[in-house]
Structure 1
Amino acid sequence: MRILITGSKGFIAKNLIAELANQGYQDILEYNRDTDDSLLDEYCKDADFVFHLAGINRPKDTSEFMDGNYGLTSKLIEVLKKHNNKCPVLVSSSTQAELDNPYGISKKASEDILLNYSKNTGTSVLVYRLPNVFGKWCKPNYNSAIATFCHNIARNLRITVNDPSVVMKLVYIDDVVEEFINALNGFSNKSDNLCEIPVTHNVTLGEIVELIYSFKNSRIERSVPDMSNDLTKKLYSTYLSYLPEDQFSYDLKMNIDQRGSFTEFIKTPDRGQVSINISKPGITKGNHWHHTKNEKFLVVSGQGVIRFRKLNSNDIIEYFVSEDRLEVVDIPIGFTHNIENLGEKDMVTIMWANEYFNPKKPDTYNLEV
């Protein structure tokens, strides 16, 4: 299948092209402002489907809106007509097409000429009026508030929010690409003459900024956001894609003593805390119990033994653990417990607890196993 994509260097197109390649589409005809016009004639002759994603949204002069949007669409239609190619055409329009401004007027004109083309030729035309699209590879400080916020906040640069109560309607790039590929396969989300991205998010500017700042602070606090919230998950992924390339890593505070070290790795608001414990050979750690706090231990390097004794009992239970057989050991409440390194090298244990460590209420009581 030969797929023509106009505006192939743009944000949406780059994501679409990448996913088409992932799904095995190999004959992609890329057209952008640097492509020789003679190739558009060749592409329109051969195309089996057209994604018309090219357009102008930040011109030096408002007169360029009509040339870059309506003009290019007209040109595309004329070349398709020249070759009598009635392949389906999907166009990325904008919700601004409903507004009386130069950009909106140019997008509405592009929609109208395509819909007339469809009416006169029987060609399938799919018009998607996109709201604010966010995700990876979008140019910051251009026409996307999300890209600008992510880029600037990650670099401690100033951002401007004139009215934090303004509600934005957002769509995530992966949801856009998924819908576009569904449309390519004949399953568009169409109603009357217009199509929609089925998954949208309505959120205020203030909430967006607060979330993105929380992502930045999470590296200091060793936390991760609530990934059960769909918008938070997508915004967090987007934010990480805008990190400076020399700042992908960040340090953790290692609590080091003669026994080894203990380092908090991840804290979550609803799924507890993950830490890394390193024990030197022959060292025993623990010898305490909890009322409500419970844990999971996973030894990933070295070998040792985890011992338990129920309060008011003399019976000791032992679980021998090692890197040779990864297994999780639950630490129940009401049992004093310890972990001893039986090997000749450092033993590394991943430890999960069901709650953050609270120094004011540690729920930890010393007692020898």
Structure 2
Amino acid sequence: MKILITGSNGFIAKNLIAELHNRKYNDLLLFNRDNDLDDLNDHCKEADFVFHLAGINRPEDESEFMEGNYGLTSLLLDRLKENDNKCPVLVTSSTQAELDNPYGKSKRAGEELLFDYGRNNDVQPIVYRLPNVFGKWCKPNYNSAIATFCHNIANGLPIKVNDPNVMLKLVYIDDVINEFVNALEGNPNTVDNYGEIATIHNVKLGRIVDLIQEFKSSRDNRLIPNMADDFTKKLYSTYLSHLDSEDFSYPLEKHEDDRGSFTEFIRTVDRGQVSVNVSKPGISKGEHWHHTKNEKFLVVSGKGVIRFRKVNSEEVIEYFVSEEKFEVIDIPVGYTHNIENLGDKDMITIMWANELFDPERPDTYYLEV
């Protein structure tokens, strides 16, 4: 299947091309402003499906809106007609097509042109009036507020918010691309030839900025955002894509003593925290119990034993653990416990606790096993 993609250097096209390759669609006919019109004509002879993503949204002169959005669409459809190519055509428009501004008028004119072409040539037209699209590879300081805020905050640059109560209508790039591939495979989500993205996020600008600021702070407080919220998860992924390549890593605070070390890795608002514990050979740690706090231990390097004794009982239970067999040991409440390194090298244990450590209420009581 030969797929023509116009505007192939753009944000949406880059994501579409990557996913098409993932799904083994490799015969792509790419057209952008670096090509000449002969290339477009050749592509229109061969194409089995067209993604018309090219357009103008930040011209130097308003007249360029009509030339870039209506004119190029007209040229594309003329080339398809001249080559008697009746393949489906998917066009990205904008929700601004409903507005009476130069950009909206040019997008609406392109839509009407496509619908006329479809009726007159027995061709399936599909138009997606997209709201603000966000996600990886979007150019900051261009036409996406989210890309700009993510980039500037990630890189310590100033931002400007005129009205935090402005409501933004947003779609995530992966949701857009999934719908486009559905259309390619003959299953578009359409109403009267207008395609619809299944998931739309309506979010206030102020909340978006607050979330991005929290993402930046998470490197210091190790607090991972609530990934159960679909928008937060997508925005966090977008934010990380705007990190400078020299800023992918960040340090953690290691608490060290003669026994080894203890380092908090991840903290969450509702799923507790994850830490890394290092015990030197012969060292035993723990000797305490909890009322409500529970933990999971996973030894990933070295070998040792985890001992339990139920409070007010004399029976000691032992679990021998090592890097040879990954197994999780639950630490129930009401059992005093310790972990001892039985090897000749450092023992490394991943520890999860169901709640964040609160020095005011540690729920930790000393009692030897």
Question: Same fold judged by TM-score > 0.5?
Answer: yes
Deviation readout 1:305-326 (Å, 9 max, x if unpaired): 0001111111111000000001
Once the two structures are TM-superposed, the CA of residue 219 in structure 1 deviates from its matched residue by: 1.0
Question: Which contiguous aligned blocks of 4+ residues in structure 1 show a shift greater than 4 angstroms?
Answer: none
Q: Which amino acid in the other structure matches residue 101 of structure 2?
A: N
Deviation readout 1:294-349 (Å, 9 max, x if unpaired): 00000000000000111111111100000000100000111110000000000000
Q: Which amino acid in the other structure matches residue 27 of structure 1?
A: D
1:221 lines up with 2:221 in the alignment: yes
Match of 1:64 in 2: 64
Q: How does 1:11-90 map to 2 (within 5 A)?
A: 11-90=11-90
Give the gaps of 5 or more residues in structure 1: none
Q: Which amino acid in the other structure matches residue 301 of structure 2?
A: S
Once the two structures are TM-superposed, the CA of residue 196 in structure 1 deviates from its matched residue by: 0.9
**SS of match in other structure, 1:126:** strand
Instruction: Name the CA distance, whole Å, in 2 between partners of 1:332 and 1:41.
Output: 70
Instruction: Name the CA distance, whole Å, in 2 between partners of 1:180 and 1:311.
Output: 60
Match of 2:332 in 1: 332
Q: Which amino acid in the other structure matches residue 143 of structure 2?
A: N
Deviation readout 1:122-145 (Å, 9 max, x if unpaired): 100000000000000000000000
Match of 1:191 in 2: 191
Q: How does 1:292-331 map to 2 (within 5 A)?
A: 292-331=292-331
**SS of match in other structure, 1:246:** helix
Match of 2:110 in 1: 110
Match of 1:270 in 2: 270
Deviation readout 1:177-217 (Å, 9 max, x if unpaired): 00000000111111013111111100000010011111111
**SS of match in other structure, 2:181:** helix
Once the two structures are TM-superposed, the CA of residue 118 in structure 1 deviates from its matched residue by: 0.6
Once the two structures are TM-superposed, the CA of residue 70 in structure 1 deviates from its matched residue by: 0.3
Once the two structures are TM-superposed, the CA of residue 26 in structure 1 deviates from its matched residue by: 1.1
Identity of aligned residues (%): 70
Deviation readout 1:237-263 (Å, 9 max, x if unpaired): 000000111000000000000100000
Match of 1:140 in 2: 140
Instruction: Name the CA distance, whole Å, in 2 between partners of 1:21 and 1:194.
Output: 26
Q: Which amino acid in the other structure matches residue 349 of structure 2?
A: T
Instruction: Name the CA distance, whole Å, in 2 between partners of 1:178 and 1:313.
Output: 58
Q: Which amino acid in the other structure matches residue 91 of structure 1?
A: V
Q: TM-score, with normalisation over the residues of structure 2?
A: 0.99
Once the two structures are TM-superposed, the CA of residue 36 in structure 1 deviates from its matched residue by: 2.1
Instruction: Name the CA distance, whole Å, in 1 between partners of 2:103 and 2:130.
Output: 14
Q: Which amino acid in the other structure matches residue 303 of structure 1?
A: K
Q: TM-score, with normalisation over the residues of structure 1?
A: 0.99
Residues paired across the two proteins, number: 369
**SS of match in other structure, 2:163:** coil
Give the gaps of 5 or more residues in structure 2: none
Instruction: Name the CA distance, whole Å, in 2 between partners of 1:122 and 1:82.
Output: 14
Match of 1:174 in 2: 174
Instruction: Name the CA distance, whole Å, in 2 between partners of 1:58 and 1:50.
Output: 24
Match of 1:131 in 2: 131
Instruction: Name the CA distance, whole Å, in 1 between partners of 2:79 and 2:318.
Output: 78
